[in-house]
Amino acid sequence: MSIFEKAFGPSMDIQNFINGAFVAPVNKLKFDNINPATASVICTVPDSDEMDVEMAIDAATAAFPSWQKTSNEERFRILHAISTGIMDNLDKFAMAESLDTGKPVSLAKTVDIPRSAQNFEFFATAIMHFASESHEMQDVAINYTLRKPLGVVACISPWNLPLYLFSWKIAPALAAGNCVVAKPSEVTPLTAYLLGEICQKAGLPNGVLNILHGFGHKVGAAIIAHPKIKAISFTGGTSTGKTIASIAAPQFKKLSLELGGKNPNIIFADAEWDKAMETTLLSSFRNQGQICLCGSRILIESSIYEKFKEEFVAKVANLKVGNPMDGTTNVGAVVSKNHYHKILDCIELAKSEGGKILIGGHPLKMDGDCEQGYFIAPTVIEGLPQNCKTNTEEIFGPVVTLQPFENEAEAISIANGTNYGLSATVWTSDLKKAHRMANNLEAGIVWINTWMLRDLRTPFGGVKQSGVGREGGWEAMRFFTDAKNVVIKY
């Protein structure tokens, strides 16, 4: 019996979730979903196309008039019930996320799934507090702003944090009164599928959320091009973001794009050593380095460069790479065979660009169940110039580079020297320096002496080619509503 069967019962076909029911794609086509830790088939996935999109959009369109009028209290109740439903099934969701992605099940259980539940909880309460402005023109008139849901919107998410990012979009869209057609990545469909069951039990009316599975270039492209889709919230690669923008812009769809990153992690000599070291280990290799916020470029002040390098490499050597189901594993498998080869090609490129591999730089063969899995040794590279491809293009794997810098100005120049601008981390005990760095870094998020600490009320997103628009808090609620100004003359 496979591990999947043990967790979920006999092997099954994932189905689309349309109008409150689980249905096969109209064309009956399907493809295999592979567990990257074992290279074995988990289940099959619908290879949906524009016929399924049409059905989903019809269902969402029919559900919208009633959903937009549903009271905030009722929307709160349903989203809260979805959140509770996820946490009631924490083990099942964590297992599914780990099987799909190759991430340690311990990570899925402590980060991915609790945060997904929190996303629904957060936006459940947000709709109870969301208010709009009024502007008085003294003795002349009063303006007030109404915020109306948009209608049917699309939410498209990637494979690295599947339910976490899927729910980060769906929850505010639903809270604001929209109906949703959503697509998870085709390589990680399991938790999105399980979410459908939770929504049914939570009493979400039919058609309010529709989940389609399949390939981005096929069903994803059909969703975003559909004239009835009023807004697109997309997280994924920068090149996919460009394609989506080129289709959405001429149709004047609202667009939120959360794209790639090549984030600097800047360590000054006056940093609190142990905290900087331990957190850098996490920001480099958590989720196999496949988080858009990972600090893949470690910039170290020259005076501590050799000492930091030596200790960091020794700690990397102690990371346990292995079976994601083992509770003591730090680093699991990368998400797919394609991605595994892409990362290994990037490592070869780094070598050809003159990089010196300090540790890792090769695939890892496991024993037992994971013998055929896609594992890569955590890799640290030094000696590369700032403007080479390895230091400017996203790898999205367990690979980091080290670069020395002499002073603040040089740190800023290296840090800002890519087309990306998602996040940056700064380690220093000097408050004034921290403020100067935060002010000068080209990034949507700057962490000082921490990493990935998130308050869901804050704006989240990137500058330059890392994206357009912001998610989180009121930013998300505003994105998923249209403002209407009403003027009443006194």
- Active-site residues: which are they? 258, 292
C-alpha of 388 from chain center: 26
The verdict on 437 binding ligand NDP (CB under 6 A) reads no
Among 5-13, 70-78, 152-160, 377-385, which window interacts with ligand NDP (CB under 6 A)? 152-160
Paired with 27 in beta bridges are: none
Of residues 35, 83, 235, 287, which one binds ligand NDP by CB under 6 A? 235
The β-bridge partners of 444 are none
Residues in contact with 360: Cβ distance below 8 Å, sequence separation at least 6, in sequence order: 316, 376, 377, 378, 379, 380, 398, 399
- Determine the Cα–Cα distance for residues 433 and 124; give it in Å rounded to an integer: 39
- DSSP SS3 for 298: strand
CB of residue 201 vs ligand NDP: minimum separation in angstroms? 25
Stretch in the footprint of ligand NDP (CB under 6 A) among 53-61, 134-142, 194-202, 462-470: 462-470
Is residue 244 a contact point for ligand NDP (CB under 6 A)?
yes
Binding mask 53-82 for ligand NDP (x = CB under 6 A): ------------------------------
SS3 of residue 171 by DSSP: helix
User: What stretches of 292-417 adopt beta strand conformation (E)?
Assistant: 297-301, 356-359, 363-364, 375-376, 379-382, 399-405
Does residue 396 belong to the site contacting ligand NDP (CB under 6 A)?
yes
Q: Does 209 bind ligand NDP (CB under 6 A)?
A: no
CA atoms within 13 A on the CB side of 428: 22
**CB neighbour list of residue 189: distance below 8 Å, 6 or more residues apart:** 14, 33, 45, 100, 213
Say whether residue 275 binds ligand NDP (CB under 6 A).
no
36 part of the interface to ligand NDP, by CB under 6 A: no
The reply to whether 237 sits near ligand NDP by the rule CB under 6 A is yes
Question: Between residues 80 and 342, which has the closer beta carbon with respect to ligand NDP?
Answer: 342
Contact pick of 49, 258, 408, 442 for ligand NDP (by CB under 6 A): 258
Q: Which of 105, 150, 179, 224 binds ligand NDP (CB under 6 A)?
A: 224
Number of CB atoms found within 10 A of residue 171's CB = 29
Among 4, 17, 123, 159, binds ligand NDP (CB under 6 A): 159
408 vs 442 by CB, closer to ligand NDP: 442
Member of 259, 299, 370, 477 binding ligand NDP (CB under 6 A): 259
23: β partners: 16
The amino acid occupying position 173 is A
478, 147 Cβ separation under 8 angstroms: yes
3-state secondary structure of 490: coil
Give the residue, chosen from 233, 240, 256, 284, that forms a contact with ligand NDP under the rule CB under 6 A: 240
Q: What is the CA radius of gyration of the chain?
A: 23
Three-state DSSP class for residue 186: coil
| CA angle, residues 430, 436, 440, in degrees to nearest 5 | 145
- Asked if 295 is part of the footprint of ligand NDP (rule: CB under 6 A), the reply reads no
Binder among 394, 408, 442, 475 for ligand NDP (CB under 6 A): 394
- Determine if 170 is a binding residue for ligand NDP (CB under 6 A): no
Residue found under tokens 């349903």: 78
Closer CB to ligand NDP, 242 or 275, in the complex: 242
Size of the site for ligand NDP (CB under 6 A): 33
Q: How far is the CB of 246 from ligand NDP (least distance, A)?
A: 10
The amino acid that residue 178 corresponds to is N
At residue 482, φ and ψ (nearest 5 deg) are: -105, 140
343 in Cβ contact with 330 (< 8 Å): no
119 binds ligand NDP (CB under 6 A): no
- In 353-429 the beta strands, taken as DSSP E runs, fall at 356-359, 363-364, 375-376, 379-382, 399-405, 423-427
Among 332, 462, 469, 472, binds ligand NDP (CB under 6 A): 462
- Choices 64-72, 216-224, 348-356, 429-437 (CB under 6 A): range interacting with ligand NDP: 216-224
Interface residue with ligand NDP, options 220, 404, 421, 472 (CB under 6 A)? 220
Q: Does 417 bind ligand NDP (CB under 6 A)?
A: no
- Could you give the CA distance from residue 224 to residue 89 in angstroms, rounded to a whole number? 32
The answer to the question of residue 288 lying near ligand NDP (CB under 6 A) is no
Q: Which stretch binds ligand NDP (CB under 6 A): 59-67, 70-78, 111-119, 237-245?
A: 237-245
Q: Does 85 bind ligand NDP (CB under 6 A)?
A: no
**Least separation in angstroms between CB 259 and ligand NDP:** 5
**How far is residue 222's CA from residue 216's CA, in Å, rounded to a whole number?**
9
CB-nearer residue toward ligand NDP: 76 or 420: 420
* 467 binds ligand NDP, rule: CB under 6 A: yes
Residues of this chain that bind ligand NDP (CB under 6 A):
156-160, 165, 183, 185-187, 215-217, 220-221, 224, 235-237, 240, 243-244, 258-261, 292, 394, 396, 422, 462, 466-467
